[in-house]
Amino acid sequence: MRLSVLILLVLSMSGLKAQELPRTLRQEKDSTALSRRIDSRKAQAQQQGEVISIKNYQIISQNRDTVILDTSLTIQKEYRYNFLRRDDFELMPFANVGQPYNRLGADLSDLPWLPQLGAAARHFNYFEASDIKYYNVATPLTELFFKTTFEQGQLLDAMLTFNTSRRLNFSLAFKGFRSLGKYQEDQAQSGNFRATANYVTKNGRYRFMAHIATQDLEAEESGGLLDKETQFESGNDDFTDRSRIDVLFSNALSRLNGKRYYLDQEYRLAGGVKDSVKRRGSLYMGHRFTYETKWYQYNQGTNSSEYFGGLLFEPVLDQAYLKTFYNEVRLGVDNRISGRLEGSVTHFNYSYYFTSLLITDSGTIPNRLEGDEILLGGSWKKHFGKLQLNARGGLGLSGELAGSYLDAGIELPLGKNHQIAGGIRHSARKPDFNYLLYQSDYLNYNWDNTDNFENQQVQSLYFNIDSKLFGSLQTQFSTTDNYAYFESTADADQIANGEERALIRPFQAGERISHLRVKYQKEFRLGKWALNNTLLYQEVDQGSNILNLPTLVTRNTLYFSSDIFKKAMFIQTGVTLKYFTEYYMNAYNPLLSEFYVQDREQLGGFPMLDFFINARIRQTRVYLKAEHFNSSFSENRFYSAPNYPYRDFVIRFGLVWNFFS
């Protein structure tokens, strides 16, 4: 494997040299012109005297927010170089890649306005419609993301984007991985395919963005350690090889599968400009359509009745399905007087179902929830000088799932180096479908809460300050009513007999829960040295231990950056410390792929130290990291969830390679 990676690096360097770029695209100089052009575009550019630069390579979000391709190497890139490819500061990963993440922080207002399938612990690597990126490029662009995993596997995310004209762009992407893991029954693998297209007519009146996504995520479920005190916490040398540690399950598997077809189109009825990204004009209409099918499966060949309770059928094969149609029609005006003012009507059709009807002594558990939701919505965006107002909201006119939502805020830049923002958020909707209805081959995992679960209601106030001098400060205060959660009803004797997970059920809090979060980020620099700091403080006001979070989460990185080899290479090297205070960390339920509340065991309070060396050569970034290296000389008290250890010291490496054709 090391030889193959070395060959890949050599090929990447030679391929980059063949591009004959005018000079290295160094950090903070990504606008340097690219001298290479291709085929007909090259001839056309020469005739028109056009110079292709990095600004001609744009990444577009679902809301058509646009950023320029960034090939620099920064500390933020280091934080995002992980399985999720985003900053996981508020998450605690399990020991293996592709396994769940526990929660270190919470944003109660960050909820979709409609319920989801459930199995939330398996959705971290699932690309939602808002996660898909679209591209507008001058020439074909390829990005390869590679990283080693844990035993017998690799992680690769490859993307190719190209166009047939200036106005029609396509992209193909596939993220796939396999990792055996260090522990028994910990293997995980997945495949995420995405294909996108975006188009705008020559006169700018009509445009669309579309994508297709097919995803299959699969992981073995170990159930956690069988004897953590003797085999893990004791530090016994016989179990330094983690594959010797006994786990609870030997034949359990969870799987999440989804397919989605998405189209967002817009037509200018009056006005318009020739712009492939910005949407301006006096009158327009739009349409957004999504069709998605998804299912979650838990498969266990041999039962463990002492773990999940009594059985109805064997072998266990639980499978929940969800089909959704989303249709939104909008009409808007966009001018200097009114700003961007938009109204919409949304129709949402859903069918959440199981394949059988369950009749028990206590009643009948239905096998289907289906219906139609009609939502009236609107949005407004307006500039008053430097002040920008943003508002969007919706109100359910019919149906039982969606109540209402509102998100209103202001943004005000204070010179070039400071900006303040603030606003309010509100949402009211039913919990996810697996809280409302669930069927399982385990007797105690069957419930119907459609008549007694109310809308979750969240109200939030937030205020943010972003300053190049003082750093970034984000504050948010939220209150929630009817908060939905999973918890075991087992008493002390039942827990002692190992029956805790056999009695897990969904609940709604009968009290209001208040949550305050303050997040601060600041980097201090002295020459080529820098200290990057991120601090999260949280406080929860509640009568019972329902919303459990650490009071303090901190990440501090001391690193050195410099050009070397006559500026042919740029390097960053340093140490990152991550720490969170002890708290009643949520426990993991593999049958539901959900976390549940527990108030018996406090975990946390241990440091996690990572050492890294990163380098950039032209458009290639190479990463090498020694993860959690302090575990080799610390006590075995590091957990990602009760009975699920965090990863030991491991060295991993990989690269991100952008090349232009």
Per-residue pLDDT of 444-478, as tens digits, reads: 999 999 999 999 999 999 999 999 999 999 999 99
- Residue 435, helix vs strand vs coil: helix
Of the pLDDT bands very low, low, confident and very high (cuts 50, 70, 90), residue 497 is confident
Q: How many CA atoms lie within 13 A of 557 on its CB side?
A: 24
Residue 479 has pLDDT above 60, yes or no: yes
**Pairing mode of beta strands 339-353, 552-564:** unpaired
**Mean pLDDT along residues 294-303:** 90
- Residue 118, helix vs strand vs coil: coil
Q: What does pLDDT average to over the chain?
A: 90
- Residue 526, helix vs strand vs coil: strand
- Residue 420, helix vs strand vs coil: strand
Choose the weakest-confidence range: 58-67, 277-286, 388-397: 277-286
* DSSP letters for 29-71: -TTSBP----HHHHHHHHHHT---BGGG-EEE-TT--EEE---
Domain ranges in the chain?
2-660
Give the Cα-Cα-Cα angle 36, 42, 45 (nearest 5 degrees). Answer: 110
Residue 115 has pLDDT above 90, yes or no: yes
Residue 33 has pLDDT above 60, yes or no: no
pTM of the model: 0.89
Question: How many C-beta atoms surround the C-beta of residue 55 within 10 A?
Answer: 12
Give the Cα-Cα-Cα angle 222, 485, 309 (nearest 5 degrees). Answer: 45
Query: Helix, strand, coil shares of the chain as percentages rounded to 5?
Result: 10, 55, 35
Distance CA 103, CA 645 (A): 15
Q: Is 309 left (phi over 0), alpha (psi -120 to 50) or beta?
A: left
Question: How many C-beta atoms surround the C-beta of residue 596 within 10 A?
Answer: 20
Of the pLDDT bands very low, low, confident and very high (cuts 50, 70, 90), residue 303 is low
Eight-state DSSP code of residue 230? I
Fold held by 2-660: Maltoporin; Chain A (2.40.170)
According to the model, what pLDDT value does residue 276 have?
41
Distance CA 450, CA 247 (A): 36
Residue pair 533/554 in contact (Cβ under 8 Å)? The answer is yes
* DSSP letters for 439-493: --SBGGG-EE-TTTPPPEEEEEEEEEEEETTTEEEEEEEEEEES-EEEEE---HH
Give 401-410 pLDDT, tens digit per residue. 878 999 999 9
Choose the weakest-confidence range: 352-356, 402-406, 611-615: 402-406
Q: Which helix (H) or strand (E) holds 14?
A: helix 2-18
Residue 10 has pLDDT above 90, yes or no: no
Going by C-alpha positions, the residue among 6, 215, 225 that lies closest to residue 117 is: 215
Residue pair 438/445 in contact (Cβ under 8 Å)? The answer is yes
Residue pair 312/442 in contact (Cβ under 8 Å)? The answer is yes
Give the Cα-Cα-Cα angle 569, 572, 573 (nearest 5 degrees). Answer: 130
